[in-house]
Copies of this chain bind each other. A is one copy, B any other.
Amino acid sequence: MTDAEKPVELADLLDTNDLVGMRLWLAEHPPYEIADALARLPPERAIVPFRLLDKDRELEVFEELDPGQQQAILVGLRDSAFRELLEKMEPDDRARLIGEAPAKIAARALAGLSPAERRMTAALLGYPENSVGRFMTPDTVVLHRDLTVARALEVVRAKGAEAETVYVLPVVDHGRRLSGLVQLSDLVTSSPDTLLKDLVDVFTPRTYATDPAEDAARLMQEANLVALPVVDSEERFVGLLTFDDALELIEAADSEDIARQSGSQPVHGHYAAVGVLRLARARAAWLLLLIIASTLTVNVMQGFEATLEQVTALALFVPMLTGTGGNVGSQSATAVVRALAVGEVRLRDLHRVVWKEGRVGLLLGAMLAAIALVIGSLLVGTGIAAAVALSVVAICVWAAVIGSTMPLLARRVGVDPAVVSAPLVSTLVDATGLLIYFSVARAVLGV
């Protein structure tokens, strides 16, 4: 690839302080690509290209950024620009930004808002973190169920241009209680004097504003909904959760689960913009805990030190056995954690899951034992090989049972099942697996 063909990167233009180049680059790229480029920059530098954006594109780019990146941009803006940007944001995005910001920025942000916008934002901030209320869109067009289609279209025409979501419209009764949703396309294609109550889909699912946002997003995925109506405890309509929130929630939830599965705390923010220290901090807690837990393995090995001195060759297979146990346990744990996350397994399925995974472990153990027997016989002789093979079977069943039980137990005590990570299962299976191995070896070899 010659230099001329290589795509110009915003970061390079920023490095050379090429203002003209940056302006051109910004004009040529769609908002989501600009946001992606800004997200890759260290937060304190992203403000430079952001200030070069056309006034009318500022908001679009800003709304594509994560709350953390938005914060970094905001603190770099003059007060008037700061207030203007916040005032124009969508209420749910604004609430999330303010909810995650330090108290000082949050106060400055709320103070700068017009009374109407402040009221809307304060209402959303009243909902618990990670609840549907924090992510929903409150300012949608609401239609009364006794309206005709013709009248409803007039309402949409009058108010629809400002409202965020007009693919689907909530239909309510006299007490603002939700009847259901009506699709804009149904309004357009239905005869003008049809009543809305005859168009509403009675099976439309709904969610409470205090429900977990991730569950609502998974429901939207399962039921193919472009928007999910949100109600309060008295079934009154309070907002819409829209498909873009669902997409974002599912991707974020999966990213968190994936991080937890590897024994990390989730790191929010773009990988390229997150520093070494923050990455290390997110990973340190579990590693510390696990290395301390692994002292157990040292203790078990010490308990069998006499056996080890007699038959040093037993030590040769320790990494193979702990590795295999960890692998089988991780597979089981990962499968069950994912099945829980997407709703395919529930708490009451515990005994069915463990029974299934135990049998999977037995099958895999039998297969791996055969291999271990061959490898062991070739390298050290049949006695030790037999001990290794028998241990492999026992360890695989045990690892599968532990790996599948722990996520369900975590869910039962209200902990995110995803903390039952591959490293955690491996570490737990290591110590118990060694106990199995040396006990079996002593019995088989008679030492």
Binding site for B on A (CB under 8 A): 30-32, 36, 39-40, 64, 153, 156-157, 160-161, 166-167, 184-185, 187-189, 203, 205, 219-224, 226, 243-244, 246-248, 250-251, 254-255, 257-259, 261-264, 267, 270-272, 276-277, 279-280, 283-284, 286-288, 290-292, 294-295, 297-298, 301-302, 305, 308-309, 312-313, 315-320, 322-324, 326-328, 330-331, 333-336, 338-339, 342-345, 349, 352, 356-357, 359-360, 363-364, 367-368, 371-372, 375, 379, 422-423, 426-427, 430-431, 434
Instruction: Collect the chain B residues with CB atoms within 8 Å of residue A160's CB.
Output: 185, 188-189
Question: Once the chains are docked, how many angstroms separate the CA of A84 from the CA of B180?
Answer: 30
Complex CA distance for A180 and B294, rounded to whole angstroms: 58
Given A301-B315, A323-B430, A324-B291; A185-B156 close (CB under 8 Å): yes
Which residue of B31, B308, B324, B326 contacts A312 across the interface (Cβ within 8 Å)? B308
Inter-chain contact B185/A30, CB cutoff 8 Å = no
On whether the beta carbons of B30 and A205 are closer than 8 Å, the reply is: yes
Instruction: Judge whether A203 and B271 touch: CB under 8 Å.
Output: no
A352 to B372, CA, bound (A): 40
Q: How far is the CA of A356 from the CA of B422 in the complex (A)?
A: 23
Tell me which residues across on chain B come within 8 A of A426, comparing CB atoms.
Answer: 323, 326-327, 426
A316 contacts across to B, CB distance below 8 A: 298, 301-302, 305
Q: Complex formed: what's the CA distance from A232 to B283 in Å?
A: 45
Of all chain B residues, the one with the shortest Cβ separation from A246 is B247
Q: Within the assembled complex, what's the spacing in Å between the Cα atoms of A335 and B258?
A: 8
Question: With A243-B247, A319-B322, A345-B271 in contact, do A295 and B367 touch (Cβ < 8 Å)?
Answer: no
Contacts A/B (CB < 8 Å), 5 sampled: A157-B188, A167-B184, A279-B360, A284-B367, A286-B327
A319 proximity list for chain B (CB < 8 A): 294, 297-298, 301, 318-319, 322, 430-431, 434
Q: How far is the CA of A279 from the CA of B422 in the complex (A)?
A: 18
Q: Is A330's CB under 8 angstroms from B276's CB?
A: no
Q: Which residues of B contact A371 (CB under 8 A)?
A: 288, 291-292
Q: Is the CB of B259 within 8 A of A247?
A: no
Given the known inter-chain contacts A188-B156, A221-B248, A288-B371, please indicate yes or no for A276 contacting B327, CB distance below 8 A. no
Smallest Cβ-Cβ distance to A39: which chain B residue: B344
CB closest chain-B residue, reference A315: B315
C-alpha spacing A335/B221, complex, angstroms: 25
A422 and B330 in contact, given A156-B188, A254-B254, A368-B288 (Cβ under 8 angstroms): yes
A296 to B427, CA, bound (A): 21
Task: Across the A-B interface, give the 3 residue pairs with the lowest CB-CB distance, nearest first.
Answer: A262-B334, A271-B339, A297-B319
Partner of A189, one of B157, B317, B356: B157
Instruction: Report the nearest B residue to A427, measured CB to CB.
Output: B323
**A379-B251 Cα distance, complex, nearest whole Å:** 45
Complexed CA–CA distance, A264 and B375 (Å): 23
B313 near A271 with CB under 8 A, answer no
Q: In the docked arrangement, what's the CA distance between A430 and B321, Å? A: 12
Shortest beta-carbon distance from A238 to chain B in Å? 21
Give CA–CA (A151, B157) in the complex, Å.
17
Distance in Å from the Cβ of A109 to the closest Cβ of chain B?
22
Please determine whether A223 and B264 come into contact, CB atoms closer than 8 angstroms.
no
Q: Chain B residues near A277 (CB, 8 Å)?
A: 363
Measured in the bound complex, the distance between the Cα atoms of B264 and A368 in whole Å is 15
Chain B residues with Cβ below 8 Å from A326 are 323, 326, 423, 426
Q: Are A247 and B244 in contact (CB under 8 A)?
A: no
Give CA–CA (A184, B301) in the complex, Å: 70
In the complex, the answer to whether A261 meets B263 with C-beta atoms within 8 Å is no
Chain B: minimal CB distance from A296 (Å): 9
Nearest CB of chain B from residue A244's CB, rounded to whole Å: 4
A219 CB contacts on chain B under 8 angstroms: 32
Q: Is the CB of B345 within 8 A of A283?
A: no
Closest to A203 in B: B30
| CB-based nearest B residue for A327 | B423
- With a cutoff of 8 Å between Cβ atoms, the chain B residues found around residue A359 in the complex are 276
Smallest beta-carbon distance A295→chain B, Å: 5
